[in-house]
Amino acid sequence: MEKIVLISFDVEPDCPPYLSSTTGIEQGMPLILELLSTENVRATFFTTAVIAEKFPKIVKRIVDEGHELGCHGYRHERFDKLSYDEARKAIEKATTLLRRFGDVISFRAPNLMFPEHYIRILIDNNYMSDSSNAKYKPPFPRGLEIFEEGIIRVPASVTSSVLRLPWRIQKAIHSRLKSPIVYFAHPWEYVDMRKKKVRFDCKFGTGEHALKNLQRLIQFHREKGAVFMTFREFVKLVFSSRIQFASQMLSNNTHNFFVKSQSNTLQDFHGNL
Q: Name the residue among 83, 85, 45, 82 with its Cα closest to residue 61.
A: 45
In whole angstroms, how close is the CB of 11 to Zn ion at the nearest point?
Answer: 8
Query: Who's near 22: CB < 8 A, 6+ residues apart?
Result: 13, 14, 51, 54, 55
In order, the DSSP letters of 75-95 are: SS--GGGS-HHHHHHHHHHHH
Stretch that binds Zn ion, among 5-13, 55-63, 205-213, 222-230 (CB under 5 A): 5-13
Q: Which residues pair with 181 in a beta bridge?
A: 5
- Scan residues 86-125 and list those touching Zn ion (CB under 5 A): 110
* CB burial readout 6-30, b (16+ within 10 A) else e: bbbbbbbbbbbeebeebbbbeebbe
Q: What angle do CA 191, 194, 196 make, to 5 degrees?
A: 90
What span, in angstroms and rounded, lies between the C-alpha atoms of 194 and 219? Answer: 26
Stretch that binds Zn ion, among 11-19, 82-90, 223-231, 262-270 (CB under 5 A): 11-19
Give the residue with the Cβ less far from Zn ion, 10 or 77: 10
Give the residue with the Cβ less far from Zn ion, 9 or 127: 9
In whole angstroms, how close is the CB of 72 to Zn ion at the nearest point?
Answer: 6
Ramachandran angles phi, psi of 134, nearest 5°: -145, 145
Kindly tell me which residue out of 4, 5, 9, 12 binds Zn ion, with binding defined by CB under 5 A: 12
In whole angstroms, how close is the CB of 225 to Zn ion at the nearest point?
Answer: 31
Query: Is residue 14 near Zn ion by the rule CB under 5 A?
Result: no
Query: Who's near 196: CB < 8 A, 6+ residues apart?
Result: 14, 15, 19, 202, 203
What span, in angstroms and rounded, lies between the C-alpha atoms of 155 and 132? Answer: 7
Query: Is residue 189 near Zn ion by the rule CB under 5 A?
Result: no
Query: Is residue 10 near Zn ion by the rule CB under 5 A?
Result: yes
Give the residue with the Cβ less far from Zn ion, 12 or 145: 12
Task: Give the 3-state secondary structure of residue 202.
Answer: helix
Give the residue with the Cβ less far from Zn ion, 70 or 110: 110
Stretch that binds Zn ion, among 6-14, 192-200, 239-247, 251-259 (CB under 5 A): 6-14
Give the residue with the Cβ less far from Zn ion, 110 or 155: 110
Q: Name the residue among 7, 30, 1 with its Cα closest to residue 187.
A: 30
In whole angstroms, how close is the CB of 73 to Zn ion at the nearest point?
Answer: 8
Q: Name the residue among 104, 38, 99 with its Cα closest to residue 30.
A: 38
Give the residue with the Cβ less far from Zn ion, 58 or 259: 58
Give the residue with the Cβ less far from Zn ion, 53 or 149: 53
In whole angstroms, how close is the CB of 111 to Zn ion at the nearest point?
Answer: 6
Stretch that binds Zn ion, among 12-20, 88-96, 189-197, 232-240 (CB under 5 A): 12-20
Binding residues vs Zn ion (CB under 5 A): 10, 12, 110
